[in-house]
Amino acid sequence: MKIEGFNDFLTNSIPAKAGTGTSGPDFGGTLNDFIKDVNQDQMNSKKSVEDFVAGNGVELHEVMIAGEKAKTSLQLLMEIRNKAVDMFKELTRIPV
């Protein structure tokens, strides 16, 4: 059995340095995608409640799971927002 070294793994897994022309995902794009996911969770929760009330074969536990998932993702988004606002406030206090 051949044991391979870590050099190839490290070379492929470490991102390129800034200025090389390649860039990774930006914060704004990642945040935008996350906001879309949170919105989708909210819509799924609303749909599952509507289906449960209409009697379309949705069980109560499915409604509760969808609701908790939507609630948790929204809470996470609010915490990310709060930390970003705190970071901005700290950066504006730094003297130039």
Q: Assign residue 15 a region: left if phi > 0, alpha if psi is -120 to 50, beta otherwise?
A: beta
Place of tokens 């704004």: 28
What pLDDT score was predicted for residue 7?
55
- Confidence band for 27, pLDDT divided at 50, 70 and 90: confident
Q: Is 96 helix (H, G, I), strand (E, B) or coil?
A: coil
Give the model confidence (pLDDT) of 36-71 as tens digits. Answer: 999 999 999 999 999 999 999 999 999 999 999 999
Q: Which has the higher per-residue pLDDT, 61 or 3? A: 61
Determine the Cα–Cα distance for residues 59 and 69; give it in Å rounded to an integer.
Answer: 16
Span of 6-15, 21-30, 60-69, 73-82 with lowest mean pLDDT: 6-15
Region 14-39: mean pLDDT is 77
Q: Share the mean pLDDT of the chain.
A: 84
Determine the Cα–Cα distance for residues 43 and 37; give it in Å rounded to an integer.
Answer: 10
Asked whether 42 and 70 are in contact (CB, 8 A), the reply is yes
What pLDDT score was predicted for residue 77?
95
What pLDDT score was predicted for residue 36?
96
